[in-house]
Amino acid sequence: MAKAKATRESKTLEKIEQLAFKALGSVRAGKNPAVEIPVRSLSNVHFNSEKGIIELGDRMAEREFFNTNMAKKFMQTFLVANACRTLVQEGKTISIRQLFYKTKHTMKGSSENTFETQQDSDPIIEDVEVAMEALREELHLFANRRGLIVGQLTVNDAGDQIDLRRMGRGGWGIPSICEDDSLKFVRCDAEYILVVEKQAIWHRLNEDRFWEKHKCILMTTEGQAARGARRMLQRMSGELKIPIYVLVDSDPWGLYIYSVLKRGSINLAYEGMRMAVPSVRYLGMSASDFQKFDLSSAVQIKLNKEDIARAKQIRGYEWFQEKRWQNEIDTLLANGFKMELDGLLTKETSFISDEYVPKKLRDKDWLV
């Protein structure tokens, strides 16, 4: 394990140094130093139907030093890269917020700051990641963790063995960094993984000990999945080799949360191979559940203009063109209302645990 980690870190250092040596070579040759950054925009993103994920294209943009429009970002790119190099050499990891402060200072002889806000430094971190084809975690950076797991799984997290059956009501917090040299799956007795969008619904299922009664792993992303949660889910998919079902609200935003888990995101298209999980299945809520489960009108929330526009945008995505998906989105729009998982409590408090999810699974009522 230690050898694998050392090899990966030496490769990361080599990538950072190559970035610097290339710029230095241009200076010594009397040329304008520049760094090439892959374009991270919708125009340079495509859907790889064979792999089932969103990928970044080949278009590149040059960031030059002797260009008044690019000079500051050129400097910021190397400032962040150098800070990451120091972290890798020291074997220390910090948050992206802490990196902002570590690299922020007023340039000598001026009143100009290297960075004004974290909104300035975060895109530069992504530039460095994609330019060197290195994960943020390989640069010894992490974002705030988000997501909880409980159920039929035992893990080894940085040397500590943790039985996720014994996490009480709180659950095990998904680490920001989920690479295999620090996290191992020791034992899995689960038959499937149930991923829940909302923490409140996860708490309902956990309190009802759904994972124990139905022999599964219960996970919440707490909204749009953070990088650590997506990487964790992909690793579980590849290593545990059990089905994964996703439970989100019946609205365009729930559909997008599922889409990001399954296909990857446009913003992080350069990391699709490490984060997307094409095998996940959409369990619900579905727009047709209103009739299937005889729900009351109390669950209905009228679609607003933003909801409608977003639903139509998602309907146009290449990976949602299959007939069943088109029908799902058309039904949502025809209904004129969206529904939240929380609305299932209008039936009874544990309806989602006792009736809704078991029936959906039993009837194989899911979309892929």
Cis peptide bond prior to 132, omega within 30° of 0 = no
Catalytic residue among 101, 245, 256, 270: 101
Cβ-contact 195, 246 below 8 angstroms: yes
Asked about 101 being catalytic, the answer comes back as yes
The Cα–Cα gap between 264 and 268 comes to: 7
The sheet with strand 160-163 has its strands ordered as 160-163, 153-157, 183-188
What is the DSSP track for 231-286? HHHHHHHHHH---EEEE--BSHHHHHHHHHHHH--STTGGGHHHH--TT-EEEE--
The Cα–Cα gap between 217 and 164 comes to: 9
Residue 163, CB-side half-sphere exposure with 13 Å CA sphere? 4
User: Which residues are marked as active site?
Assistant: 101
